[in-house]
């Protein structure tokens, strides 16, 4: 099939999502990433709406954007105002962007109610605005707002609006499902009929209010659309826009259609996570292709087949889009899950060993108590090492005492007094903290630093507590999940108890032990922790 241009509007339509706001510097960083991946168009914003967007257009000219063209967004001129005198049109010229994307009304209902003008004047507004910007040297893309709703209400007039854009000199007419309520079969039929009435290329701009934006965009391409518009991660107003992180691999890998360079697909997951980080939005782990769970397997039957061939339960090789395969350990696990994890961590296991069956049963019992190893592979590896590999603990707890003192009008004060055994030696120390867990963490590190100097590089990066039995109130069992980092990588550990301090100790002790085991203990007393 014909190649398809990818038009990104993350920096304009994507910012209309609730809770998302980018600084000018943020927008430049995202635009650079999009340019490196070979996107065709990058819509930088609406220069007539705010000074920040205008600043972006002025600053982005100093960067190499590869083949990507920067587009400035705006509307047709206002009724009864000449295009050259319209302030929004002027701001588009002031942006000095090479491309202008102009939206206009396709739905007669909107012309009367939103614009408050006549159908005839709307056609003139479209034609004259496009022609004026083209005469000033800009490539003009026309976004036909509410086109599919307009076509359903008055097909003859909807077609007149896009013909007017073509007569004005638009390079592409993009049909917009602005309310996001159309179905794929409707999109395909309307795109096909519209193309038969136009002699210029057609594109698609789909919103996701009916969870159809990607499907609608693909159907439009099947009907002859040569440009798809969307956003990274599907960010956008209401329910969002067509998610380019799904649309691009669908078109490229499933349909064999040229979009961005094929070798750049391997950076798609990284791009998705980068944009979510800049937007300060937690990544959706269940997003197709780029989510952390997109190629994650939990059921034992699935993993058994996966060990033979990934195609049994994966529709593509995750590495094609820069993602990775994960296998989880849970109460749904079978021996295949253990075999996969042992292979992943370069551990040795005999498939027929009684230890394997025993540890699998132990895992299921622990999960029944509230443990969850899906995000706690540090605890899982420690558990496996203990079962199969002659593991020796780097330290063991003798006693622990915690004191918390509260005074009116003063911050609470906590102190941990700990006695641990390290390689036959007993260490007794104490440390303060801004809470009992912080004090415990400080005391443990203080006790271990002499034996394991590289513990100084490890730091707790996240700490979560989940109440498992809400009906038991303050006596409920809690699960503590700790995320630890050494600056190069991070790992999770878990603890469960009716006592939050005990659960915290379990997770904290595992986090330190795993960091020493996997990161190289660098201990000056040569204490053997692997056996």
Q: Where are the domains of the chain?
A: 5-260, 299-388, 396-519
CB atoms within 10 A of CB 250: 20
Q: How far is CA 294 from the centre of its chain?
A: 11
- What rounded mean pLDDT belongs to the chain? 87
Cβ–Cβ < 8 Å for 323, 290: yes
Q: How many helices (H) and strands (E) does the chain have?
A: 17, 16
Cβ–Cβ < 8 Å for 448, 475: no
- Edge-to-edge order in the sheet of strand 478-485: 459-467, 478-485, 490-497
Instruction: Answer positive or negative: Cα dihedral of 309, 313, 316, 321.
Output: negative
Burial, 400: exposed, middle or buried (Cβ in 10 Å; 0-12, 13-18, 19+)?
Answer: middle
Q: Report the chain (531 residues): mean pLDDT per 10 consecutive residues.
A: 94 93 93 96 90 92 93 95 94 96 95 92 97 97 97 97 97 97 97 96 97 98 98 96 98 97 94 89 89 74 63 83 72 55 60 64 67 72 72 87 86 90 91 90 92 88 82 81 84 89 92 80 37 38
Cβ–Cβ < 8 Å for 372, 479: yes
Cβ–Cβ < 8 Å for 177, 206: yes
- Edge-to-edge order in the sheet of strand 413-422: 396-405, 413-422, 425-433
What DSSP character marks residue 473? G
Domain 5-260 sits in CATH at 3.20.20.70
483 is written with which tokens? 């995320």
Cβ–Cβ < 8 Å for 460, 445: no
179 is written with which tokens? 């309310």
249 is written with which tokens? 């691999």
- 408 in helix, strand or coil? coil
What DSSP character marks residue 251? I
For the segment 204-221, what is each residue's pLDDT rounded down to a tens digit? 999 999 999 999 999 999
Task: Please state, in angstroms and rounded to a whole number, the distance separating the CA atoms of residues 234 and 10.
Answer: 8
At residue 349, the pLDDT reads 59
356 is written with which tokens? 């394997």
At residue 529, the pLDDT reads 39
* Domain 396-519 class in CATH: alpha beta
Residues 6+ apart with CB under 8 A from 210: 180, 181, 182, 183
Instruction: Answer positive or negative: Cα dihedral of 197, 199, 200, 202.
Output: positive
C-alpha torsion 357→359→362→364, nearest 10: -70
Burial, 113: exposed, middle or buried (Cβ in 10 Å; 0-12, 13-18, 19+)?
Answer: exposed
Residue 139 pairs in a beta bridge with 99
At residue 353, the pLDDT reads 64
Task: Please give the backbone phi and psi of residue 319, each rounded to the nearest 5 degrees, phi first.
Answer: -65, -20
For the segment 79-111, what is each residue's pLDDT rounded down to a tens digit? 989 999 999 999 999 999 999 999 999 999 999
For the segment 370-401, what is each residue's pLDDT rounded down to a tens digit? 676 656 778 878 877 777 656 778 898 999 99
At residue 141, the pLDDT reads 98
- Name the H helices within 414-520: 436-448, 500-519
Residues 6+ apart with CB under 8 A from 280: none
- Do β-strands 396-405 and 202-206 pair in parallel, antiparallel, or remain unpaired? unpaired
- 154 in helix, strand or coil? coil
Cα R_g (the chain), whole angstroms: 30
Task: Please give the backbone phi and psi of residue 315, each rounded to the nearest 5 degrees, phi first.
Answer: -80, -20
- 340 in helix, strand or coil? helix
At residue 355, the pLDDT reads 64
Long-range contacts of 477-483 (CB under 8 A, 24+ apart): 477/369, 477/370, 478/503, 479/370, 479/371, 479/372, 479/503, 480/504, 480/506, 480/507, 481/372, 481/375, 481/376, 481/507, 482/507, 482/508, 482/511
Same fold, 5-260 and 396-519: no
Helix (H) or strand (E) holding 275: helix 268-278
- Do β-strands 202-206 and 227-230 pair in parallel, antiparallel, or remain unpaired? parallel
Residues 6+ apart with CB under 8 A from 414: 402, 403, 404, 405, 432, 433, 434, 435, 436, 438, 439
Q: What percent of the chain has pLDDT over 90?
A: 59
């Amino acid at each position: 099939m014909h190649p398809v241009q990818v038009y990104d509007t993350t920096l304009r339509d994507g910012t209309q999502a609730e809770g998302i706001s980018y600084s000018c510097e943020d927008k430049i960083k995202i635009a650079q990433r999009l340019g490196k991946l070979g996107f065709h168009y990058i819509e930088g914003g609406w220069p007539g709406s705010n000074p920040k967007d205008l600043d972006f257009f002025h600053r982005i000219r100093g960067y190499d954007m590869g083949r990507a063209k920067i587009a400035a967004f705006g509307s047709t001129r206002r009724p009864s105002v000449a295009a050259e005198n319209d302030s929004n049109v002027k701001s588009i010229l002031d942006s000095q962007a090479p491309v202008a994307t102009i939206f206009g009304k396709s739905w007669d209902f909107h012309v009367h109610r939103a614009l408050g003008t006549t159908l005839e004047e709307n056609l003139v507004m479209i034609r004259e605005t496009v022609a004026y910007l083209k005469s000033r040297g800009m490539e003009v893309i026309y976004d036909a707002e509410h086109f599919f709703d307009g076509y359903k209400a008055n097909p003859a007039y909807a077609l007149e609006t896009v013909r007017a854009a073509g007569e004005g000199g638009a390079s592409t007419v993009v049909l917009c499902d602005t309310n996001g309520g159309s179905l794929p079969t409707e999109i395909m039929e309307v795109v096909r009929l519209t193309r038969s009435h136009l002699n210029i290329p057609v594109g698609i701009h789909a919103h996701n209010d009916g969870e159809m934006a990607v499907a609608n965009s693909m159907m439009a391409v099947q009907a002859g659309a040569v440009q798809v518009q969307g956003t990274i991660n599907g960010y956008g107003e209401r329910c969002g826009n067509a998610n380019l992180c799904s649309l691009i691999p669908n078109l490229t890998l499933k349909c064999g259609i040229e979009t961005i360079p094929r070798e750049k697909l391997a950076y798609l997951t990284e791009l998705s996570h980068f944009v979510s980080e800049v937007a300060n939005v937690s990544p959706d782990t269940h997003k197709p292709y780029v989510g952390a769970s997109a190629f994650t397997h939990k059921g034992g039957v699935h993993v058994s087949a996966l060990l033979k061939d990934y195609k049994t339960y994966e529709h593509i090789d995750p590495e094609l889009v820069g993602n990775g395969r994960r296998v989880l350990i849970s109460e749904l696990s079978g021996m295949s899950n253990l075999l996969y994890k042992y292979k992943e961590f370069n551990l040795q296991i005999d498939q027929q060993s009684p230890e394997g069956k025993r540890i699998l049963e132990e895992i299921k019992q622990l999960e029944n108590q509230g443990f969850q190893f899906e995000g706690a592979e540090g605890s899982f590896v420690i558990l496996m090492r203990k079962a199969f590999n002659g593991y020796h603990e780097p330290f063991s707890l003798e006693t622990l005492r915690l004191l918390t003192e509260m005074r009116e009008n003063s911050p609470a004060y906590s102190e941990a007094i700990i006695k641990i055994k390290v390689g036959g030696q007993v260490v007794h120390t104490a440390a303060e903290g801004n809470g009992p867990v912080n004090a415990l963490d400080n005391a443990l590190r203080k006790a271990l630093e002499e034996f394991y100097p590289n513990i100084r590089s490890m730091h707790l990066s996240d700490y979560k507590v989940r109440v498992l039995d809400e009906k038991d109130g303050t006596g409920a069992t809690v699960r503590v999940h700790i995320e630890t980092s050494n600056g190069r990588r991070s790992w999770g550990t878990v603890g469960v108890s009716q006592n939050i301090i005990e659960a915290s100790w379990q997770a904290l002790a595992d986090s330190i032990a795993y960091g020493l085991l996997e990161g190289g203990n660098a201990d000056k007393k040569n204490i053997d922790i692997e056996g």
